[in-house]
Structure 1
Amino acid sequence: MVTSTWARIENATVAEVTNIDPQYRFPPSLVWITCPDGTLPGMQYTDGIFTEKHEAPIDHAAQIASVRYQHETAGITVNAVSIDTTRDSQALITAAALSAVIDPTYLCVWKALNGPVTLTAAQIIEIATAIRAHVQACFDRECQLLKALAEGTYTADMLDHGWPAVQGA
Structure 2
Amino acid sequence: MVQSWEVSAKPLTMLRTDMLSALADYRYQVETGGITLPDGTEIKTERDDQAMTNSAYNSLKNGLVSSTEWKSGNGWITVTLTELEPVATAVARHVAAAFGAERDVAEQIAQADQTALLALDLRGEFNAAYAARLQALSA
Shared fold (TM-score, shorter chain, > 0.5): yes
**Higher strand content, 1 or 2:** 1
TM-score (norm 1): 0.61
Aligned counterpart, 1:157: 121
Residues 24 and 102 in structure 2, CA contact (< 8 A), matched pair in contact too: yes
Q: Which runs of 5+ in 2 are unaligned?
A: 135-139
Deviates more, 1:139-148 or 1:73-82: 73-82
Instruction: Say which SS state the counterpart of residue 33 (structure 2) adopts.
Output: coil
Take 1:128 and 1:95, find their aligned partners in 2: how far apart are those partners? 10
Higher relative contact order (CA 8 A, sep 6+): 2
Structure index of larger Rg: 1
Deviation of 1:97 (Å): 0.6
Q: Which runs of 5+ in 1 are unaligned?
A: 1-16, 18-47
Take 1:105 and 1:87, find their aligned partners in 2: how far apart are those partners? 23
Q: Deviations over 1:93-114 (max 9, x none)?
A: 1100111111286212211111
Take 2:95 and 2:60, find their aligned partners in 1: how far apart are those partners? 21
Take 1:133 and 1:53, find their aligned partners in 2: how far apart are those partners? 44
Question: Is 1:52 aligned to residue 6 of structure 2?
Answer: yes
**Higher helix content, 1 or 2:** 2
Take 2:71 and 2:9, find their aligned partners in 1: how far apart are those partners? 45
Take 2:9 and 2:78, find their aligned partners in 1: how far apart are those partners? 53
Over aligned residues, Cα RMSD in angstroms? Answer: 2.4
Q: Deviations over 1:67-106 (max 9, x none)?
A: 1111111111234321100000000011001111112862
Identical pairs, percent: 29
Question: Is 1:145 aligned to residue 105 of structure 2?
Answer: yes
Take 1:66 and 1:85, find their aligned partners in 2: how far apart are those partners? 15
Deviates more, 1:128-137 or 1:49-58: 49-58
Match for 1:76: what amino acid? I
